[in-house]
Structure 1
Amino acid sequence: MPKNRPYLYHELTNSICSTCYRKVEAKIIEENGRIYMQKRCLIHGPEKVLISTDVDYYHRTREFIKPSEMPQIWNTPIKYGCPYDCGLCPDHEQHSCLTLLEITDHCNLQCPICFAESSPHRTSYRSLEQIAFMLDRIVENEGEPDIVQISGGEPTTHPDFFEILDMCKARPIKHIMVNTNGIRIAKDREFVRRMADYMPGFEIYLQFDSMEASVLKELRGADLRSIREQAIAHLNEFNLSTTLVVTLKKGLNDQEIGTIIQYGLEQPAVRGVTIQPIQAAGRLEGYDPSTDRLTVSEVRQMIIDQSGVFNSDDILPVPCHPDSLAMGYALKLDGEVLPLTRMIDPQILLEGDSNTIVFENDPIIRGKLFELLSTGHSPVSSALSLKSLLCCLPLAAVPEHIVYDNVFRVIIMQFLDAYNFDVRSVKKSCVHIAHPDGRIIPFDTYNMFYRDDKEKILEDLKQEITTAWQ
């Protein structure tokens, strides 16, 4: 009688060795109620990486797929294979839902964790000419980019910051975000007032990791509680749309998810919370990937357990990149919080010709919507844009009586690193970074292969591949 293996074998993919970054085969297996990636490097041996703690949710992500949306143009040819041809090369399966535009390496903090390794000691600022070139490449790729996120370093330190915003507004970009640690927002009220003039279609992506001094010192090197408090006060004063961004480290600040979501719900300017488990890339002090990493399924369960708002039907995979993105939506109306995602028939997500979602699934919530909106017609006929609701975009197209101020979303955004890297998955990445030379590169691969001097390591790998072919 043949013996069974102690696991279920699901699929084969390609990954990379976390030590040398050479491409290796990887098996996806189910064992003891969890999903793992097993891979073996010829030089550095085997690795086993936890992918998901929730088998049912993992399988559900495989159901949330939709036709791939391509960019207007491709930037690089296919030569060495993913992830060595970024990008975007014709083998990529998703356009840019969000493109980061990094305008400086300088930062007024030196965080112990930073994927860009920014600091006060890095003092370079991109020129307006460089930035115009990069913006034009983003527009060339996308036609009308959904979101461009101004980032760094700390972008608010750039001496031409408002000229850069004007350059973005002069182009057909639907939504502009500023990725910031909030220090200037806290200290300069007039600066915030000027930014508010760029709404609508403008948002602050505010670093907001914890309410605890010890946690902030470990992640950011400083107790930033008073900075966060004053920044939120200024943002509320001008009702400047804001997303709170939590960089999450297992066992450090993961018990604060519910507290931060509830805090966000109480702030007039906050439109949601984005939770980003640490990516093992860049500067990482005191981080052990064997104990400190978190999966999407773990974070999803924490939201369900801690938030008091969202249940298991509310946090769904995002179809453009379901392995790495999950999202739940709610409406804030007259002091009540009404979860929306549970009212969506998942089949609608997969119907490419469907443009709307009708709120008819839940009679109790439908009644509340009717009462709170007082529209004079049944909310059953109110509909939200499918793409706006269920991609990683801010909600832009809403019923007449529901404005962006009423929206609250929770997003889990995981970036792949050398440990859980999956070529099958990274091809669906829709969060990208504009390279100074005009390439548009997935966030996951940019931080591993294409940032600063890391391209030298990549060139060595390419040379090794070329030699092996000869």
Structure 2
Amino acid sequence: MENQPDLSNSANSSSKTIPPISDTTPFPTSRLKQDADYVFFELTRSICPECRRVIDGHILLRDNKVYMRKRCPEHGQFEGLVYGDAQAYTSAARFNKPGTIPLAYSTQIEHGCPHDCGLCPEHQQHACLGIIEVNSACNMNCPLCFANAGAGFNLTLEEVEGILDHLVETEGNPEVVQFSGGEPTIHPQIIEMMKAAKKRNIRHVMLNTNGKRIATDDDFLQQLVELHPSVYFQFDGFSSETYRILRGEPDILTLKLRALDRLAEIGANVVLVPAVDRFVNLHEVGAITTFAMQHPAVRGISFQPAFQSGRHGKSDPMQRLTIPDILKALEEQTGGMLLVSDFVPVPCCFPTCNSVTYVLNDGDTVLPLTRVLNVDDYLDYITNRAAPDLSEDIKSALEGLWSSSVVPGSDKAAQQFALSCAACELPDGLDLAAFAKNIFMIMLQDFMDPWTFNQKNLMKCCKEILLPDGKQIPFCAYNNVGYREQARTQLQARERQRNQARRASLPFTPEPLTFSFAQK
């Protein structure tokens, strides 16, 4: 021990004296952590816009807007605007109604969503609206067309009857079937197809059309008188530039107005369907609404933000138009006749996909139902789930109105509206009959595209494309995942083979439609 150095002696120590730290001595600089410029809200499953591979999607909230960000291992990162109001998006969950299970499923769970459509047992909603695309051909060549209409196939009457029978099997008493295309009015058997739907006691038969044949074909118009279908009518505004950009026909407005007047003459119930683009015709939504509420044939409007599926112009996914954008434009352009607060999410699908309001429109008064009845309370499925003071009859009526199966102008819609208003303190001078007779629907339907595809929303989709052989494909899966392309190829080949067999006087039994997705 005596040989150890004395460490207390500075002469024997290698350490140096450390000066005291003063208040002015600077600390070494270091990097500072930073907060993200967004709130991570949730994780979902989506697809790559390039290769359609199923990948994770991050839902982000930034500057009171909702975005989806995702990364494909092959094609890199993508981001797109999902919803223009983050507060409305996050609060919409309370309108998420429990799904109604169909009576039967058409496929089994094998590969997982979205590759087992459908409907498969994982799907969370039945078909409120069944859509039959009877052909792929059209008498227009619109630059904006999610169906990418063109030469391809025509379903046969026998195929459509099989589709309708399967819909009855899965739904029991289907509410609505819509005949679409292509352009369904140019199908040589479209009248027989609509009659087939009527024979199966489907409550509402709807015809989706651009109006060209209705404007010019007297015989066809007379046949519509007998069937009295609801008409889902393409109508994008009044500007020739709007129709040039969206439809490739700048002078088509005159023809459309003539078709609407002819539909009024036969007492048809019409829903105008404007495809709305932020940079093309958003400025026209107020004028469209005013016109629609004054036209004797029109019972409602279904505004649809333009989405990037099928055939569309080049656009920025970060500048997508969404439901809140149209609502704000409606409030501004109608001078407050309609307010953003008048609209309530539709509970049967995922609540951020669809919003609607109903108004009393008797020519002098425009009064939204939501201003005389607290619709929010009745359609709040979380916080008011067991509220004892809410009438079940009124709630049931409102569920019928706030549904994708509603048909404006129908007796059922009028009855539901009247029952809903029985709980209201009606303004002076208005009676219940006026409410029921003069209701007008304004709906906004936002469809997903490859940039915003959200598996969570898809699993509650209630609008299904009905195909031969019993397939029911959710609308946004059909248009984004690859079902449409595969179905069109097979249906086109089937028609060619059928014609060959007919010419050779041979029987023909088509191969069932199948779908295959190579997931890397």
In the superposition, the TM-score normalised over structure 2's length comes to 0.79
Structure 2 counterpart of 1:391: 403
Post-superposition Cα deviations, 1:90-133, rounded to whole Å, max 9, x if no partner, equal 111111111111112221111112122223xx263221111101
Residues 355 and 387 of structure 1 are in contact (CA less than 8 Å); yes or no, is this contact kept in structure 2? no
Residues 81 and 317 of structure 2 are in contact (CA less than 8 Å); yes or no, is this contact kept in structure 1? no
SS in 2 for 1:273: strand
The one-letter code matched in structure 1 to 2:191 is F
**Counterparts of 1:347-386 in structure 2 under 5 Å?**
347-350=377-380, 355-357=392-394, 385-386=397-398
The reply to whether residue 59 of structure 1 matches residue 90 of structure 2 is yes
Structure 2 counterpart of 1:274: 302
The one-letter code matched in structure 1 to 2:267 is N
Structure 1 counterpart of 2:197: 168
Residues 47 and 54 of structure 2 are in contact (CA less than 8 Å); yes or no, is this contact kept in structure 1? yes
When structure 1 is superposed on structure 2, of 86-95 and 2-11 the one drifting more is 2-11
Residues 53 and 519 of structure 2 are in contact (CA less than 8 Å); yes or no, is this contact kept in structure 1? no
SS in 2 for 1:357: helix
Mapped to 1, the partners of 2:517 and 2:82 lie a distance apart of: 28
Deviation at 1:190, TM superposition (A): 4.1
Structure 1 counterpart of 2:238: 211
CA 1:418–1:133: 2 relative to 1, 3 Å: same
SS in 1 for 2:42: strand
Structure 1 counterpart of 2:425: none
Structure 1 counterpart of 2:445: 413
When structure 1 is superposed on structure 2, of 322-331 and 385-394 the one drifting more is 385-394
State the aligned residue count.
435
**Counterparts of 1:20-419 in structure 2 under 5 Å?**
20-119=51-150, 122=151, 124-199=153-228, 202-222=229-249, 223-284=251-312, 286-290=313-317, 293-308=320-335, 309-321=337-349, 322-342=351-371, 343-350=373-380, 355-357=392-394, 385-392=397-404, 393-395=406-408, 396-397=412-413, 398=415, 399=418, 401-402=433-434, 406-419=438-451
When structure 1 is superposed on structure 2, of 188-197 and 405-414 the one drifting more is 188-197
Structure 2 counterpart of 1:14: 45
When structure 1 is superposed on structure 2, of 410-419 and 342-351 the one drifting more is 342-351
Matched-pair identity in %: 35
The one-letter code matched in structure 1 to 2:208 is N
Post-superposition Cα deviations, 1:281-314, rounded to whole Å, max 9, x if no partner, equal 1122x33143662122212222222234321221
Deviation at 1:157, TM superposition (A): 1.1
Residues 182 and 206 of structure 1 are in contact (CA less than 8 Å); yes or no, is this contact kept in structure 2? yes
Residues 186 and 234 of structure 1 are in contact (CA less than 8 Å); yes or no, is this contact kept in structure 2? yes
Mapped to 1, the partners of 2:78 and 2:187 lie a distance apart of: 42
The one-letter code matched in structure 1 to 2:484 is R
Structure 2 counterpart of 1:450: 483
Mapped to 2, the partners of 1:258 and 1:54 lie a distance apart of: 20
Residues 358 and 439 of structure 2 are in contact (CA less than 8 Å); yes or no, is this contact kept in structure 1? yes
The one-letter code matched in structure 1 to 2:118 is G
The one-letter code matched in structure 1 to 2:444 is I
CA 1:127–1:404: 2 relative to 1, 3 Å: farther
The one-letter code matched in structure 2 to 1:357 is I
Residues 88 and 441 of structure 1 are in contact (CA less than 8 Å); yes or no, is this contact kept in structure 2? yes
CA 1:45–1:182: 2 relative to 1, 3 Å: same
CA 1:191–1:354: 2 relative to 1, 3 Å: farther
Deviation at 1:194, TM superposition (A): 2.7
In the superposition, the TM-score normalised over structure 1's length comes to 0.87
Residues 271 and 405 of structure 1 are in contact (CA less than 8 Å); yes or no, is this contact kept in structure 2? no
Structure 2 counterpart of 1:378: none
Post-superposition Cα deviations, 1:26-54, rounded to whole Å, max 9, x if no partner, equal 22121222221121111111122212221
SS in 2 for 1:388: helix
Structure 1 spans left out of the alignment, 5+ residues = 359-383, 466-470
Mapped to 2, the partners of 1:124 and 1:40 lie a distance apart of: 36
Deviation at 1:427, TM superposition (A): 0.8
Residues 275 and 412 of structure 1 are in contact (CA less than 8 Å); yes or no, is this contact kept in structure 2? yes
The one-letter code matched in structure 1 to 2:244 is K
SS in 2 for 1:113: coil
Mapped to 2, the partners of 1:123 and 1:28 lie a distance apart of: 38
Mapped to 2, the partners of 1:235 and 1:271 lie a distance apart of: 12
Mapped to 2, the partners of 1:9 and 1:75 lie a distance apart of: 36
Mapped to 1, the partners of 2:487 and 2:475 lie a distance apart of: 14
CA 1:169–1:356: 2 relative to 1, 3 Å: same
Deviation at 1:403, TM superposition (A): 7.7
The one-letter code matched in structure 1 to 2:153 is S
CA 1:180–1:306: 2 relative to 1, 3 Å: same
Report the structure, 1 or 2, having the larger strand content: 1
Of structures 1 and 2, the larger Rg is shown by 2
Post-superposition Cα deviations, 1:41-86, rounded to whole Å, max 9, x if no partner, equal 1111112221222122112211211111111111111111111111
Deviation at 1:191, TM superposition (A): 2.5
The one-letter code matched in structure 2 to 1:208 is F
SS in 2 for 1:259: helix
Mapped to 1, the partners of 2:287 and 2:478 lie a distance apart of: 32
Post-superposition Cα deviations, 1:258-298, rounded to whole Å, max 9, x if no partner, equal 000000001111011111112211122x3314366212221
CA 1:79–1:455: 2 relative to 1, 3 Å: farther
Deviation at 1:406, TM superposition (A): 1.5
Mapped to 2, the partners of 1:158 and 1:148 lie a distance apart of: 17
Residues 354 and 445 of structure 2 are in contact (CA less than 8 Å); yes or no, is this contact kept in structure 1? yes
Mapped to 2, the partners of 1:460 and 1:170 lie a distance apart of: 31
The one-letter code matched in structure 1 to 2:469 is D
Post-superposition Cα deviations, 1:151-203, rounded to whole Å, max 9, x if no partner, equal 1111111222221121011012111110000001111244323313323xx30
Mapped to 2, the partners of 1:73 and 1:56 lie a distance apart of: 37
Residues 276 and 414 of structure 1 are in contact (CA less than 8 Å); yes or no, is this contact kept in structure 2? yes
SS in 1 for 2:174: coil
Mapped to 2, the partners of 1:386 and 1:73 lie a distance apart of: 27
Deviation at 1:346, TM superposition (A): 1.1
When structure 1 is superposed on structure 2, of 35-44 and 266-275 the one drifting more is 35-44
The one-letter code matched in structure 2 to 1:328 is T
Mapped to 2, the partners of 1:106 and 1:410 lie a distance apart of: 29
